[in-house]
Amino acid sequence: MRRSPAEGTESHARITRRSLLLGGGMLGFAGMLGLRMRYLQLEQADQFRLLAEENRVNIRLIPPARGEIFDRNGFAIALNQPSYRVTIVREDAGDVDEVIARLAALIELDDVTLERAMTEMRRSPPFLPITIADRITWEEMSRIAVNAPALPGVTPEVGLSRHYPLGGVFAHVVGYVGPVSDYDLSRIENPDQLLRIPRFQIGKVGVEAREEELLRGKAGTRQVEVNAVGRVMRELDRREGQPGATMQLTIDRQLQAYVQARLGDESAAAVVLNARTGEILSINSSPTFDPNLFVTGISVADYRDLTENDHRPLANKSVQGTYPPGSTFKMVTALAALEEGLFDERDTVWCPGHLEVSNRRFHCWKRAGHGHMNLNTALRESCDVYFYELALKVGIDKISAMAERLGLGTRFEIPMSGVAQGLNPTRDWKQSVRGAPWVVGDTVNVSIGQGFVLASPLQLAVMTARLATGLAVEPSLVKSVEGEDRTLPEPVPLAINPQHLQAVRGAMFAVSNHRRGTAYGSRIIEDAYRMAGKTGTSQVRNITAAERAAGVTRNEDLPWERRDHALFVDFAPFDNPEIAVAVVVEHGGGGSTAAAPIARDITLQALFKGDPPLDAYPVKDRDRIATQQERIRKLMPDPDGHKRTRA
Amino acid sequence: MSYLEYAVKTVPTGWRKILYLNWPLILLIMAVASTGFLMLYSVAGGSFSPWVEPQLKRFVMGLVLMLFVAMVPIWFWRNISVVAYLGTLVLLILVEIMGSVGMGAQRWIDLGFMRLQPSELMKITLVMLLAAYYDWLPLPRTSRPIWVAIPVLIILIPTALVLRQPDLGTSILLLAGGGMVMFMAGVHWAYFAAVIGMGVGLVTAVFQSRGTEWQLLKDYQYRRIDTFLDPASDPLGAGYHITQSKIALGSGGWTGRGFMQGTQSRLNFLPEKHTDFIFTTLAEEFGFVGAFSLLSLYALIVVFCIASALMNRDRFSSLLTLGIAATFFLFFAVNMSMVMGLAPVVGVPLPLVSYGGSAMLVLMVAFGLVQSAHVHRAR
C-alpha cells in the first residue's frame, strides 16, 4: 500500500529512535561482555592459570625396586624377579572378545583373573591397559610376542615381583610381601603415596614388614600432561626414585636350610646364635609354608590348610612361641644361689624323690629319689629336689633378677614379627596381674622352670650364649644395610663370678658327656667340638595326685597335644664357645630324646659349616646319621645358587 | 508497496551492483570467519581436518549465496516473505514428525548433501515476515491490540515448535529477535513492559513447577540453571562446562598462551570446543587482546548493519536489516555470556566462528538480505 510522505517520514523517525535506543542497549551489553572478559582474563588470570596447570599436569609415581635381602655370605633370601603379565587396551583391541579368544588359544587364561579384568575394563576408560593374565611364563610370553599382529591392543609387560628362592626356609624370618590392604592403610599414619598404587606390595610379616621403610625405597615421579579423560599425552619431567636398601642378615643360609630340613614336620623351633656376638645364625620354626604363595595371593584352600593345621605352620615359634623352660631354667636357679653365696657347688642336698613345702608335696621327676646331690650331679641328672632346696633358700627375687640378667623376660630388638617378651615372674607381677600374693610354692615351681615362667626359644638361646661366654650378648639379625655395617657393639661382661659360671658350665658339660648325664646319648665325641647342654621337659598339664597314684602316664600314650614339650639348650665347643643353640619340640616328649639329638646335629652342622664327619658321632649312631645326612642333603639348596649379584 | 515505488532509476543495475555492496560489512564478516578457521585449525591440533576444510567450503558457498541474494532486488524478498515463513514452518513441523533423532533432540532434515535445520532458517524468515508485516501495516495501527496479537502469534508458533525439539537456545533467539523487530517497528512501550512482567512471572512459575507433574522444563534444563546459579557446586558434573571454560578464559591473560598452545582445549578439558565453546579456545590462546578484538568485530558488524538500516528510507529494508542485526547480536551475546558464566549453557553457537553447516549458511543468506537492502535502497 502506498504511504504518504508524512507517514514515511514519521515511520523513519520512529525506526531511527527505536533502533538507536536498541543499538545503544546492544553496545552497552557488548561493553559489559568486555568488562567480564577483563575481569576473568586480567584480574583473575593468575588464579585461573594455576587451575589450568593443575588440570593439565598429573604426577605419576614410579614404584622403586624393593631392597633385596641376602644372607651373611651373600646368598639371596628375597629378591625381585621379572614377572611377565599381559595387558589389553580396549580401544586398540577393537573386538575385545575376539582378541581374548585368540589369546586363550595361546596361553592358559585364568577364569577368575579374566572375570576381574572384564569388570575392570567396563569401568575404566578405553585407553587404560587392563591386566588379563599375570605371572605368565617366558615361553607363553614369547608365544604372545610372535603372534602380536593377530592380537591388537595386547601388550606383554615386564614388572618386578618378590621371589623367595628358598621357599619355606625363611618364611618365618623374612616373612612375605603382599598387596596393600585397606587395613594396612588404616594402620599407617600419613601413608606414602606409593601405597595407593593398585597392587603395590608391602611387607606383611617378618623382616619384610619390620624393615618396610628401608626396603621400600623412595618413589620416583613422572610429571605427565594428561587430557580431560586422563590419557597421558606426554612426559614433562621425570625424577628417578631411590631403590630400597639391600639388606644382609646375620643368618647363614645353608645352616638355616639344614635346620629346617632337620626339624622336618615336627612342631618345633630352633635358634642358633654366635655365642660371642649374638648374631643369629639360624632361626627356624616348623612346620613352615611357602611365602611365595602369599605374594601371588594365596588360594582359600591353601590358606585353610595352613590355618587348620594343628602344628600351626603360620606361627613363628622361635620368637612368638613361649614355653615353660623346664629344666633348662635350672642354671638360672643355680647361678642365683651361687652368686648369693648361700651355696657352694660342693654342698649337697638329699633327694628322697619329693619335698614337702607348706603342706604340699613337690615331686622329683625320679620318684625313687636321687640321694645326695651336688651342683654338678644335680644338673647332670636334672634332680628337681636339689633346685627346690636352692630356691627356698635364695628366694624368688634373686632368681628372677638372675633370669633377667640372663635375658629371660626381655623383648629383644630384632626385626621379626611378634617377638615375645616371655615371662619372668616377680612378686610385683603376680600381685598386679594375678591379684594374689606370691607364695613359696610359686618359687618352688619356678626353680625348675615350671609355673609362671615362660621363655621363647630365642631367649633360651641368648641365655645359653650368656652362660657360655659370661657376656651380655644381645641377639641381632641384620648384619648390614646397603653395605653399611650394623653389627652390635662388643657385648659387655655380665659381672657374674667366673668361678660360678665355670661350675655351671662344667655341670652342663656333664649333661652331655657324663655317662649319667641326661643328654649323654646325644654327645659329640670329637674332642675339639665337645658340647655342654641341658635338657628340659616341660609339662603342659597338671599331674593330679590321683594320676600320680595310678602311676604317671607315659608321654607316648597321651594324645599329641597333651604330651610334654621337649627342650634342649647347648653351647659348643666347650673350651671356647662359638655357638649357642636352643631347640624346642612342642609336645615332643622328653628333652633328652626329642630335642637333644636335633640340637646336636644342628650344633655340629654349625661348627663344621656343613655336614660334619661321622667321627664326631658316637659309633652306634653313625649309620643312622649317615642315612639322615643323605636324606637332608637332597633337601638342601644348591650351595652356589642365588649368589648375590650386586653389593 | 510494489517495486514500482522504488526509485528504480537511482538503484544500480547489473554488475554495477557489486560496487554498491556494503563492502566494509563483507570485510568484517570475512575477518570473523577467518578467526573461526584459525581456531578450528587450532582445536583440531593443527590440522585442516576434520573441521576447517568443510567449514571453509561452506563459507565460500555462503559467500556465493550471499552475493546471489544481494543481487536479487529487495522487493522480491519482501514479496516471498509470507511463503518463506510458511514453508519454514512446514519444515519445522516436518522435523517434528519425521526428522532424524540426534543428540536427543529432533533438529534437522537430511537433504543428502547437508543437514538442514529449519529452526536456523526460521530465524531469518521470521524476521522477514515481521518486517513485511510492519511494512504493510498502516502506522497508526501499530500498537492496536489486534495488530499486536498477529505478530505475537507469528513469533510464538515457531518458538513453541523449536522449544518442543527441544532447543532452548534457538527459541530464546526467535523470541527475543522477533520481540526486537516489534520494538523497532514502534509497538507501544506498555506491551513490552507487560511481556517482561509476564516473563518474570513465568520464570517464577518454572521454578515453582519443578519436581511437580506439570514441570515446565526438562530435568537437564533445570540442572543447567542450577549450574548457572552455582557452577562451583559440582565442578566435575553439572558445572564442568562452565568451570572448565572459565579456567580456559582466565588462563589466557593479556595476550594468551600463544596459537595452538592452549592446554585447556588441546587436552580436551573444554567441552564442545569446536562448536559452542570455541570462544574459550580463542580467549585462551590469544588472551584478552584476541577475545576483545573478536567482540569488537561483532559489535562493528552490528553497528554497520544499524547504520545501513538508518540510511535506508524503505521500511521493510530497515526493519529487516535491524532484525538481522538484532538476531546476530543475540547469537554472539548469548554465546559469550554463556561461556563467560553469565548465562546458562543453552547451546547457541558463536556466529560465523563455530563449526556448523546450517548456522553458517543461514547467516550468510541473512547478510545477503542486508546487502540486498543496502544495494537496492532509494538514493
Q: What is the pLDDT of residues A396-452, one digit of tens each?
A: 999 999 999 999 999 999 999 989 999 999 999 999 998 899 999 999 999 999 989
Closest CA to B296 of A481, A27, A474: A27
| Chain A residues with CB-CB distance to B180 below 8 A | 22
Give the DSSP H or E segment for A224.
strand A220-226
Contact B249 A41 (CB under 8 A): yes
Residue pair A452/A353 in contact by the 8 Å Cβ criterion: no
Angle at B236 between CA B230 and CA B238, to 5 degrees: 50
Residue ranges of A 3-42 with Cβ closer than 8 A to chain B: 3, 7-8, 10-12, 14-16, 18-20, 22-23, 26-27, 29-30, 33-34, 36-38, 40-42
- Which among A3, A41, A51 has CB closest to B287? A41
The full DSSP string for A86-119 is EEEEHHHHSSHHHHHHHHHHHS---HHHHHHHHH
pLDDT-derived band at B102 (thresholds 50, 70, 90) equals very low
Closest CA of chain B from A236, distance in Å: 13
Say which range, A312-316, B285-289, B342-346, has the weakest mean pLDDT.
B342-346
| Residue B238 pLDDT greater than 60, yes or no | no
Report phi then psi at A373, rounded to 5: -130, 135
Burial class (CB within 10 angstroms; exposed 0-12, middle 13-18, buried 19+) of A391? buried
Q: What would the pLDDT profile of B44-53 be if each residue is shown by its tens digit?
A: 878 888 888 8
Continuous H helices in A490-530 = 498-513
Percent of chain A at pLDDT exceeding 90: 50
Contact B291 A37 (CB under 8 A): yes
| Residue B375 pLDDT greater than 50, yes or no | yes
Residue pair A325/A567 in contact by the 8 Å Cβ criterion: yes
Q: Hey, of B188, B249, B282, which one would you mutate to test binding to chain A, going by the most A CBs within 10 A of its CB?
A: B249
Contact A15 B333 (CB under 8 A): no
Say which range, A52-56, A204-208, A376-380, has the weakest mean pLDDT.
A52-56
| Chain B residues with CB-CB distance to A45 below 8 A | 250-254
Q: Hey, of A27, A40, A58, A223, which one would you mutate to test binding to chain B, going by the most B CBs within 10 A of its CB?
A: A40
| Residue A646 pLDDT greater than 50, yes or no | no
For A219, what's the count of Cα atoms within 13 Å in the CB-facing half-sphere? 16
Q: Give the three cell numbers for residue A250.
A: 646375620
A96 vs B159: which has the higher pLDDT: B159
Residue pair A345/A376 in contact by the 8 Å Cβ criterion: yes
Residue pair B111/B358 in contact by the 8 Å Cβ criterion: no
Identify the pLDDT of residue A327. Answer: 93
Identify the pLDDT of residue A229. Answer: 62
Identify the pLDDT of residue B182. Answer: 93
Flag whether residue B143 sits within 8 Å of chain A, measured between CB atoms: no
As for the ipTM of the complex, it is 0.89
Q: How many CB atoms lie within 10 A of CB A83?
A: 17
Contact A41 B310 (CB under 8 A): no
Any bridge partners for residue B106, and if so which?
B101
Say which range, A93-97, A581-585, B62-66, has the weakest mean pLDDT.
A93-97
Q: How far is it, in rounded angstroms, from Cα B181 to Cα A19? A: 9
Burial class (CB within 10 angstroms; exposed 0-12, middle 13-18, buried 19+) of B250? buried
Residues 6+ positions from B39 with CB-CB distance below 8 Å:
B278, B281, B282, B285, B353
Q: How far is it, in rounded angstroms, from Cα B361 to Cα A395? A: 110
| Chain A residues with CB-CB distance to B295 below 8 A | 30, 33-34, 37
Q: Give the three cell numbers for residue A520.
A: 649323654
Tell me the average pLDDT of chain B: 84
pLDDT-derived band at B325 (thresholds 50, 70, 90) equals very high
Identify the pLDDT of residue B1. Answer: 45
| Residue A510 pLDDT greater than 90, yes or no | yes
Identify the pLDDT of residue B103. Answer: 47
Q: What would the pLDDT profile of A43-72 be if each residue is shown by its tens digit?
A: 888 877 777 777 666 667 778 889 999 999
Contact B183 A26 (CB under 8 A): no
Range from A39-43, A562-566, A601-605 that averages highest in pLDDT: A601-605
Percent of chain B at pLDDT exceeding 70: 87
Say which range, A285-294, A628-637, B337-346, has the weakest mean pLDDT.
B337-346
Task: Name the catalytic one among A286, A327, A400, A417.
Answer: A327
Closest CA of chain A from B27, distance in Å: 20
pLDDT-derived band at B146 (thresholds 50, 70, 90) equals very high
Tell me the average pLDDT of chain A: 87
At A581 the three-state DSSP class reads strand
Identify the pLDDT of residue A237. Answer: 73
| Residue A620 pLDDT greater than 80, yes or no | yes
Identify the pLDDT of residue A99. Answer: 85
Sign of CA dihedral A515, A521, A522, A528: positive
| Residue B217 pLDDT greater than 80, yes or no | no
Mean pLDDT of B207-225: 76
Residues 6+ positions from A12 with CB-CB distance below 8 Å:
B313, B315, B318
Closest CA of chain B from A45, distance in Å: 5
Give the Å distances, CA to CA, from B375 to A253, B135, B325, B362, B372. Answer: 101, 19, 17, 20, 5
Percent of chain A at pLDDT exceeding 70: 92
Burial class (CB within 10 angstroms; exposed 0-12, middle 13-18, buried 19+) of A514? middle
- Which among B139, B267, B325 has CB closest to A228? B267
Closest CA of chain A from B69, distance in Å: 24
Q: What is the dihedral of CA A420, A423, A424, A427, to 10 degrees?
A: 140
At A180 the three-state DSSP class reads coil
| Residue B9 pLDDT greater than 70, yes or no | no
A267 is catalytic: no
Range from A69-83, A397-411, B244-258, B347-361 that averages highest in pLDDT: A397-411
Give the Å distances, CA to CA, from A462 to A35, A79, A272, A326, B197. Answer: 82, 30, 9, 16, 95
Contact A37 B250 (CB under 8 A): no
Q: Give the three cell numbers for residue A465.
A: 650364649
Identify the pLDDT of residue A647. Answer: 39
Contact A48 B246 (CB under 8 A): yes
Q: How far is it, in rounded angstroms, from Cα B59 to Cα B43? A: 18
Contact A23 B180 (CB under 8 A): no
Give the DSSP H or E segment for B285.
helix B278-311
> Burial code of A572-592, b = ≥16 C-beta within 10 A, e = fewer?
bbbeebbbbbbbbbbbbbbbb
Contact B309 A52 (CB under 8 A): no
pLDDT-derived band at A547 (thresholds 50, 70, 90) equals low
Establish whether the linkage from the previous residue to B351 is cis, with ω within 30° of 0.
Answer: no
Structural domains in chain A?
60-249 (3.90.1310.10), 253-289+314-635 (3.40.710.10)
The Cα diameter of chain B in Å comes to: 65
Pairing of strands A484-485, A349-351: unpaired
Flag whether residue A52 sits within 8 Å of chain B, measured between CB atoms: yes
Identify the pLDDT of residue B62. Answer: 93
Identify the pLDDT of residue A449. Answer: 92
CB pairs A-B closer than 8 Å: 153
Give the Å distances, CA to CA, from B91 to B84, B122, B169, B174. Answer: 11, 9, 19, 16
Q: How far is it, in rounded angstroms, from Cα A336 to Cα A330? A: 10
Angle at A74 between CA A487 and CA A316, to 5 degrees: 70
Closest CA of chain B from A15, distance in Å: 6
